[in-house]
Amino acid sequence: MKLEKIANIFVKIAERCIPDPLVIAIGLTGLCFIAVLLFTPYTAIQTIDAWGASYWSLLAFTAQMILILGLGHVVAHTKPINNLLLKIATTFNSAKTAYIGLTLIASLCSLFSWGVGLIVPAILSCTIAANLKERGIVIHFPLLVCCGYSGSLVGMLGLSSTIPLLLNTANHFLINKIGIIGLNQTILSSWNISLIIIIMTLIPLILYRCAPERKACIEFTNQINPNEAPIEDPKNHHLSQKLENSKYLTLALGSFAGIYSLQYFIDGGALDLNSLNMIFVALGLLFSDSPKHYIILLSNAAKIAGPFLIQYPLYAGLMGMMAASGLAEIFIDGFVSISNAATLPVWTFFSAAILNIFIPSAGGQWAVQGPIMTEAAIILGADISRVSMAVVIGESWTNAIQPLYMIPVLAITGLSIRDIMGYSVIVLIAMGAIYSTALLLF
């Protein structure tokens, strides 16, 4: 059977069976609640208390994600960046090159920063699709969006990967047990680099082969244009209006942000969500026409941030229930009990992949899983660096179908989770085969 037909089966199943991400989050919360009552000594009231106590624990992350979405959207819709994205889009002369090219662009961006790799390809997918449509080239927009999202999945294996960076710091919470694990043993190891190359080679080709026939393609329907500031007669402006429409004010504040960002990196600062957002602040201000224009761009961007406000706290509550009740430890211990030195990385991978559905945060997941897996590695004599990377790639694997990280992509592109989930399942199967083979044979 052709890959296109297999993909079509998953697409149809997703269209009929996959609900909105909010419904998925509520369902996972109910499932976790029942599991806690069945497998731990926690009572219903204790479980609800754990949920509520943790509900707001991801507020900082929620704000960071809302800002990266909003500020990235602002930057993309300024005229200079919009023109740059358009030039990139015009380099693609067929649907095939667009599918493959966007997947590779997303991968390269995400290896530099997973935040960049998540947002930029989503914005670029709209520009590419609109440009191809203008030139009469038919492309299946949901698949193109999935290409951008799937390419970003290698970001957890790249330079902004949370767990390897944590293990390479002098004060991480497991320092007394395992010491410092250098990046040359994790993300910069030949094993991990080879894995990235294999994924970046195979996934674009697999996704391209999933493309439906021309008549079944769903094309991009929105308009992509810079949000222009309203044209006003400067002769009628009062002082307040002149200030609102002054380019010099946004240039001044943008320069402040730009100088700070430059000095931050000169002093050895790392690229994280906060520093990336500051870069977006600087670029948005420098490239907008005036304070009034900037507010128009930001207001338009804010309209798509609503889903974050309820769904991210729901996952924080999930994390709290699993961690406080001991359900996560019981789950992980089950995998450890059937492991030996050779198989521990593999079982760690599968346990991390499943746990990621309920705790979709690398730092939060490592806080729960890290102590158990490193203790098991020490007792069994397993390679600790390989075990830690098994957690990393396990989390990265099920991010292919993790609604939490799809939300910003769906918000930017205007699609529903049903539109791309069928193709994401294909990516999940392919990456699962790659990861498990790498752990077992190499």
121: its two tokens: 């390809």
Other CB atoms within 10 A of residue 207 CB: 25
Sign of the CA dihedral 143, 148, 151, 156? Answer: negative
Average pLDDT of the residues of the chain: 89
For residue 223, the model assigns a pLDDT of: 63
Q: Average pLDDT, stretch 249-267?
A: 94
Confidence of residue 170 (pLDDT cuts 50, 70, 90): confident
For residue 235, the model assigns a pLDDT of: 58
Confidence of residue 71 (pLDDT cuts 50, 70, 90): confident
More confident residue, 249 or 311: 249
394: its two tokens: 């396990």
156: its two tokens: 């957890």
Give residue 352's Cα distance to chain centre: 17
Point out the least confidently predicted range of 7-16, 88-97, 188-197, 199-208.
Answer: 7-16
Closest by CA position to 344, among listed 305, 311, 377, 393: 377
Confidence of residue 428 (pLDDT cuts 50, 70, 90): very high
Q: Average pLDDT, stretch 127-136?
A: 94
State pLDDT tens for residues 6-42: 989 999 999 888 898 889 999 999 999 999 999 999 9
Closest by CA position to 328, among listed 343, 318, 337, 338: 318
Tokens 């990266």, located at residue: 68
Residues whose CB is less than 8 angstroms from the CB of residue 442 and which lie 6 or more positions away in sequence, other chains included: 191, 194
* Distance between CA atoms of residues 186 and 189, nearest Å: 5
374: its two tokens: 């490193």
Residues whose CB is less than 8 angstroms from the CB of residue 279 and which lie 6 or more positions away in sequence, other chains included: 261
Residues in the chain: 442
More confident residue, 70 or 234: 70
Is the pLDDT at 404 greater than 70, yes or no?
Answer: yes
Is the pLDDT at 233 greater than 80, yes or no?
Answer: no
For residue 362, the model assigns a pLDDT of: 83
State pLDDT tens for residues 327-362: 999 999 999 999 999 999 999 999 999 999 988 878
Is the pLDDT at 57 greater than 90, yes or no?
Answer: no
For residue 119, the model assigns a pLDDT of: 86
Is the pLDDT at 102 greater than 70, yes or no?
Answer: yes
Is the pLDDT at 231 greater than 60, yes or no?
Answer: no
What are the distances in angstroms from CA 309 to CA 54, 206, 312, 321, 407? Answer: 15, 35, 7, 20, 11
Confidence of residue 303 (pLDDT cuts 50, 70, 90): confident
Closest by CA position to 362, among listed 71, 94, 212, 160: 160
Confidence of residue 421 (pLDDT cuts 50, 70, 90): very high
Q: Average pLDDT, stretch 177-181?
A: 90
What are the distances in angstroms from CA 424 to CA 100, 274, 283, 403? Answer: 15, 29, 32, 11
